[in-house]
Amino acid sequence: MALLQGRSVRLVATGMAVPERVMDNDELARIVDTSNEWIVERTGIRERRIASKDENASDLAIAACRQAIDRSGVDVDSIDMVVVATNSPDTLFPSVAARVQGAIGASKAGAFDVQSGCTGSVYSLSVASSGIASGLWNRVLVCGVEVLSRLIDWEDRTTCVLFGDGAGAVMLEAGEKEDPGVMVCDMKSDGTKWDYITLPGGLSSLPASRDTLAEKKHFVSMKGNDVFKFTQRVLPGYLKDVCSDAGMSPSDIDRWIFHQANRRIMEGVLKRLGVSEDRAINNLERYGNTSAASVFLALNEAYEGGSITCNSGQKVLITSFGAGMTYGAFIYEA
């Protein structure tokens, strides 16, 4: 269990950016054999945002990060590191983080991407917090961004109904000992389940070729039922242990921010934890699964909507799961 030691780490501002284009379920039903009722019943999603042809992951990330910077009021020269969680970068290299660092003018900052499936969100928050707590960095800009609409087979209704595009960002910085802040950063993986969610084509294992294109190896493939069973088997006990090791129970958590993947997954985990659904932040129906960006979007809207308020003492738990199979949890006091 990773109880954060060292200096206090504060979350001081959030931001987000989503494409203008909204694709609702009725539009999707004109593309693939599905319906609004089928999608809502099985996922809870009603619409998602889709990036335009000239809109890349870095564009959304830059916009979200600029909003977080503006809200925090910090000088960009005081940012020590830019960390971006993404599974759909503009390019494998250079990183999205490097593009963000250059665009915002954070001339003294380093930059790197985190690729760990949808759990890249929690992993990036944990790495950034650990760096601050240890004294390595004083201020870190963290972002989650996806343009997964370009990695989806729009003829496969098992995946194309799920995903959307967007970006969210948070500013983390060192605080005083008495300040509320990050309490837990925990990261786990079960690599024996690596084949549950994959995108096999395009890199060293299966370099791009006519065959990989014809066989649709460049699209996301997912064993949906296996993923669902994994979350219901693993997450409830894991999250109970996370809370217990932090000296709390699930009932002590004021706000739950789940990876916005599927309403049935969230409902099932909450039921097994004995936690009321009204404690969970849910914006899945409007954005779909935005992978490594999803918890950042939900966190930003929770602050904007007043569900989470600064200096309130609220205990907030952020959790995600994704390809790998990776999973993790991040607890902080607002």
pLDDT of residue 328 exceeding 70: yes
162/45 Cα distance (integer angstroms): 7
- CB proximity list for 320: less than 8 A, separation 6 or greater: 118, 119, 121, 122, 258, 259, 294, 295, 327, 328
3-class secondary-structure state, position 22: strand
Structurally, how many domains does the chain consist of?
A: 1
pLDDT of residue 177: 80
pLDDT of residue 157: 92
How does pLDDT run across 223-277, given as a tens digit for each residue? 999 999 999 999 999 999 999 999 999 999 999 999 999 999 999 999 999 999 9
Q: What is the pTM of this model?
A: 0.97
pLDDT of residue 207: 96
Phi-psi region of 60 (alpha: psi -120 to 50; beta: other; left: phi over 0): alpha
Sign of CA dihedral 301, 307, 309, 315: negative
104/50 Cα distance (integer angstroms): 24
Whose structure tokens read 């993986």? 189
Max CA pair span of the chain: 60
Q: What is the percent of the chain with per-residue pLDDT over 90, rounded to a whole number?
A: 97
Residue 259 annotated as catalytic: yes
User: Could you list the residue range(s) of the whole structural domain that residue 248 is in?
Assistant: 1-334
198/12 Cα distance (integer angstroms): 35
Whose structure tokens read 């809502």? 40
Over its C-alpha atoms, the chain yields an Rg (Å, rounded) of 19
Of the candidates 259, 262, 282, 300, the residue annotated as catalytic is 259
How does pLDDT run across 83-133, given as a tens digit for each residue? 999 999 999 999 999 999 999 999 999 999 999 999 999 999 999 999 999
Is the bond into 94 cis (omega within 30 degrees of 0)?
Answer: yes
pLDDT of residue 1: 56
Dihedral (C-alpha) 83, 269, 188, 249: value to the nearest 10 degrees? 90
Residue 300 annotated as catalytic: no
pLDDT of residue 135 exceeding 60: yes
Provide the token pair at 29. 């039903």
Nearest to 50 by CA among 192, 149, 129, 132: 149
Residue 208 belongs to domain with CATH number: 3.40.47.10
How does pLDDT run across 192-226, given as a tens digit for each residue? 999 999 999 999 999 999 999 999 999 999 999 99
Residue 218 annotated as catalytic: no
Q: What is the percent of the chain with per-residue pLDDT over 70, rounded to a whole number?
A: 100
3-class secondary-structure state, position 285: helix
Of the candidates 25, 56, 65, 118, the residue annotated as catalytic is 118
pLDDT band at residue 75 using 50, 70 and 90 as cut-offs: very high
pLDDT of residue 179 exceeding 90: no
195/299 Cα distance (integer angstroms): 29
pLDDT band at residue 2 using 50, 70 and 90 as cut-offs: confident
Whose structure tokens read 């490097």? 98
DSSP secondary structure letters along 286-312: HH-B-GGGHHHHHHHHHHHHTSS-TTS
DSSP secondary structure letters along 173-205: EEE-TTS--EEEEEEEE-GGGGGGEE--SSSSS
Of the candidates 87, 262, 282, 289, the residue annotated as catalytic is 289
Average pLDDT, the chain: 97
